Amino acid sequence: MRVKFPRFLLDENVPVPVINWLRSLRPDWTVEHTSDVGLNGRSDSDVFRWAQEHGSIVVTFDDDFADLRTFPEGHFGVIRLRIWPTTVEETQAALMRLFDSTNVTELQGSLTIISQSKIRIRSVGRD
**Average pLDDT estimate for 108-124:** 92
Q: For 27-58, give one letter per residue: b (16+ CB within 10 A) or e.
A: eeeebbbbeeeebeeeebeebbebbbeebbbb
Domain boundaries, the chain: 7-123
Under a CB-based contact definition with an 8 Å cutoff, are residues 58 and 78 in contact? yes
Q: What is the pLDDT of residues 12-59, one digit of tens each?
A: 999 999 999 999 999 999 999 999 999 999 999 999 999 999 999 999
Nearest to 11 by CA among 61, 52, 54: 61
What pLDDT was estimated at residue 117?
A: 92
* pLDDT category of residue 121 using cuts at 50, 70 and 90: very high
- Judged against a pLDDT cut of 70, whether residue 4 lies above it is answered with no
Specify the pLDDT at position 66. 85
Architecture of domain 7-123: 3-Layer(aba) Sandwich (3.40)
